[in-house]
Amino acid sequence: MSAKIYRANFEYFVKDDQASLPDAFEVEAGIQAPSDEFVVSRNKQGDPISRYGDNVWDFRIYRLAGDSGSARINFEFAHKDYRNEAKWLAFLLIYFAESSVNYGVSIATIMNYMKSVRRLIGYASSQSRSIGTVLSEKKHLDEFIRTLETRTLLTGFSSLVGHLAHIPSDISGYKVSTLYSSFLAREKSKALPEDLQHPVIPPRLLSSLISDLEMFLNEILASIDNLAGFTENIIHDPLFARCESKQRQLGVRRREMAPFFNEASSAYGLERLLLKYGVSNIPGLSKFLTRIQHACRIYIHIYTGMRHSECLSLKNNALVIEKIMGRDVYKVFGDTSKFIGQKKRVAWVTSKDVVKAFEIARKISILICSQCDILQHDAPLFISAVYLGFTGVKIDLNAPLVIQKHANKDQEIFNYFSSDLYVIEDSDFDHLVAVDPFRTWHKEKAFQLGSVWRFTTHQFRRTLAFYVSQSANVSIPALKSQLKHISREMTLYYCNASACISEFDHDEHISHLMREIKPESDAHAYLAVVADRTEPLFGAYGRFVDRNVTERESEGLLLNDRKELVSRFRKGELAYKETPLGACMTTSQCDKKLLRLVSACISCDRAIIKPSKLEQVIARQRIFVDELKSKDDSSIALRTELSELEDLESYQRRIALLRNKEA
């Protein structure tokens, strides 16, 4: 019988210049585990990193770009009697598991499977049973499944059992009793409550964060060249900016010493900036650069909706400005962290707002990369500042590149912002309840009144999709202004994309999240109008709402019928679009604007008109008409706009008569 050769599943994802591949596994007949010397991971140069006999298998060098999860399997979790079986199960997953999309299995996926392996080993050990016994007898498998309490563990174990069942038992040594256990695990996971969604950040808090970030980045942008020059001088001159004791250690006399840190920073015009942010020495400078990187990354998250891992995977040349139909379109190109079945270029549309964040991050990256011999065009945008050597940490340049993940709160930009601005107020809590009234917010410690809001990168993605998909939900003028450009670009390219849709078309892209969340976002905007009793509604649809939905009923809509309402928006039975006069509920293409301007809404049977908004439009129209009169009091434009104003004022008078009559 001829031997069959198996290769590690993750090899499909390994780029030629990333690392050398692990050993291939040759199977002739029967069950045969690899020797302890079998190499399971290698570095770029081909030297072994981990062998089968090691208690730790290190796969960090094989991680996908931007993958910041663990990639080291430490088998010491298993009792010595079960350690060899734990290694064998891991090996089977790495070399024999078949991907559902025929493209291999990534390290991140394997690490998820290992969570189930760990629990399986723990259960078998506690019951003094072998792994083979647990897997081969249905009653033991079912009993083990009952110990799994989270969706992640249940779905992971379902996949694990499925993989083991498809590996021939003469290779694996395991006879899985039935695939019913895999089905049972999946069904139990469906019965568990759904994981809580990441909250939509209240508009006041998001606007405050954007303002703080913008002011900080503008300040850094004005000094980034001096900051880079200052840092570069520190790198190349072992005395420059060092303290007196350090220079004495190097044998320098007092009068021959290079300038100390404060004096050195003054020479680069940085004294005031560094004093403001408490940077008084070289380790402090390293921390400052790390926090600047975090500010840049958070800003990019806010204006792209990228995932954490997607942002970490960005290269220095990720931001591209394309000319499309005579206008600049800003795109960020990178790798998606979720495997999509094929290798393809992925893009996120953004706005000019992020240019400063990219420019700052790129200059810091180039500075750091000069220390570890990386080509600038291929340099990670968020490479760790540890390579500068300012903190005393030794880095192996042959090891996988260290990306700055900001896992430590001390590395975050939030340390420079006043927490008072981010204390949760009544309006913030009301927003959370309005967006998701079924969630027991009052029981969640993180969202209590008086608590400081804790921003996470996951929140920015859902928040951006929620606000951009329905602009009516952006209730604060400052936030409307801050999101104006990105809202226009995302709406244009994600909702109406044609030629460039392949750049955005995969299931994990934010464009899909926008389409998925839009019915929920539209329903929220509609309910906000229904629940608002500060003024009566006019227009044909507005009068219908006012007459048929009482205050008590509106409260019921917010709770009892919300899911049904979202379903109707999802099916296209309802629609909601903000207009200058209020809102429009038409589900078809608007045919009124072709005839007239804003006043076209007056005669529309799907219009909701608010008196306060009508007053604002009339005030602006009067100013516009006066400007036209001052230029040419007989122009066609003046006659058109004057007619528009007269129609609006006439409708306002009709509203006044109606209100007086009803009073």
Mean pLDDT for 544-552 is 69
Q: Name, of 157-161, 236-240, 600-604, the range with top average pLDDT.
A: 236-240
**Local confidence band at 506 (pLDDT 50, 70, 90 cut-offs):** low
pLDDT tens-digit readout, 365-415: 999 988 776 766 668 899 989 888 888 777 776 666 778 888 788 999 999
Please state, as a whole number, how many other Cβ atoms lie within 10 Å of the Cβ of residue 330.
Answer: 22
Q: Which of 123-137, 317-331, 396-410 has the lowest mean pLDDT?
A: 396-410
Cα–Cα distance list, 150 to 110, 124, 146, 195, 365 (Å): 18, 19, 11, 9, 40
pLDDT at 250 over 70: yes
pLDDT at 231 over 70: yes
150 DSSP assignment: S
Mean pLDDT for 235-258 is 90
**Local confidence band at 68 (pLDDT 50, 70, 90 cut-offs):** low
**Local confidence band at 168 (pLDDT 50, 70, 90 cut-offs):** confident
**Local confidence band at 357 (pLDDT 50, 70, 90 cut-offs):** very high
Mean pLDDT for 621-645 is 89
What is the model's pLDDT at position 362? 95
pLDDT at 359 over 90: yes
**Local confidence band at 468 (pLDDT 50, 70, 90 cut-offs):** confident
Place of tokens 């083991």: 164
What is the model's pLDDT at position 44? 80
What is the model's pLDDT at position 262? 93
Place of tokens 């929140």: 459
Nearest to 224 by CA among 179, 283, 266, 270: 270
pLDDT at 499 over 50: no
46 or 180, higher pLDDT: 46
Mean pLDDT for 158-181 is 79
**Local confidence band at 596 (pLDDT 50, 70, 90 cut-offs):** low
197 DSSP assignment: P
pLDDT at 627 over 70: yes
**Local confidence band at 556 (pLDDT 50, 70, 90 cut-offs):** very low
Percent of the chain having pLDDT more than 90?
32
What is the model's pLDDT at position 181? 59
Q: Which of 21-35, 114-128, 615-629 has the lowest mean pLDDT?
A: 21-35
Mean pLDDT for 462-472 is 84
Mean pLDDT for 443-466 is 91
Mean pLDDT for 114-143 is 87
The whole-chain average pLDDT of the chain stands at: 83
What is the model's pLDDT at position 183? 64
87 or 325, higher pLDDT: 87
pTM: 0.76
**Local confidence band at 341 (pLDDT 50, 70, 90 cut-offs):** very low
Mean pLDDT for 564-589 is 86
pLDDT at 569 over 70: yes
pLDDT at 591 over 80: no
**Distance between CA atoms of residues 547 and 541, nearest Å:** 10
Place of tokens 């928006």: 569
Please list the alpha-helical segments (H only) found in 146-202. Answer: 151-166, 169-172, 180-191
pLDDT at 442 over 70: yes
Show Cβ contacts of residue 66 under 8 Å, excluding neighbours closer than 6 positions.
Answer: 308, 309, 310, 311, 312, 313, 314, 334, 335, 337, 403
**Distance between CA atoms of residues 6 and 27, nearest Å:** 8
For residue 250, the SS3 value is coil
3-state helix, strand, coil in the chain (%, to 5): 55, 10, 35
> In this structure, are residues 309 and 323 in contact, taking their beta carbons and an 8 Å threshold?
no
End-to-end alpha carbon distance in the chain: 96
What is the model's pLDDT at position 326? 82
Place of tokens 């227009």: 539
pLDDT at 642 over 60: yes
**Distance between CA atoms of residues 82 and 125, nearest Å:** 7
33 DSSP assignment: P
Using only C-alpha atoms, the chain has a radius of gyration, in whole angstroms, of 31
Mean pLDDT for 34-39 is 93
pLDDT at 295 over 70: yes
What is the model's pLDDT at position 99? 61
**Distance between CA atoms of residues 535 and 543, nearest Å:** 12
297 or 155, higher pLDDT: 297
Q: Name, of 57-61, 149-153, 511-515, the range with top average pLDDT.
A: 57-61
Q: Which of 9-18, 211-220, 549-558 has the lowest mean pLDDT?
A: 549-558
**Distance between CA atoms of residues 652 and 159, nearest Å:** 64
What is the model's pLDDT at position 497? 44
**Local confidence band at 637 (pLDDT 50, 70, 90 cut-offs):** confident
Mean pLDDT for 234-244 is 91
Mean pLDDT for 487-507 is 60
105 or 92, higher pLDDT: 92
Residue type, 625: V
Characterise 457 by phi-psi region: left (phi > 0), alpha (psi -120 to 50), beta (else): alpha
What is the model's pLDDT at position 279? 96
Mean pLDDT for 535-559 is 70
539 or 227, higher pLDDT: 227
pLDDT at 90 over 60: yes
Taking every pair of Cα atoms in the chain, the longest distance, rounded to a whole number of angstroms, is: 98
Please list the alpha-helical segments (H only) found in 313-446. Answer: 355-369, 426-435
> In this structure, are residues 156 and 109 in contact, taking their beta carbons and an 8 Å threshold?
no
For residue 577, the SS3 value is strand
Mean pLDDT for 67-85 is 84
Please state, as a whole number, how many other Cβ atoms lie within 10 Å of the Cβ of residue 663.
Answer: 5
pLDDT at 51 over 90: yes
335 or 91, higher pLDDT: 91
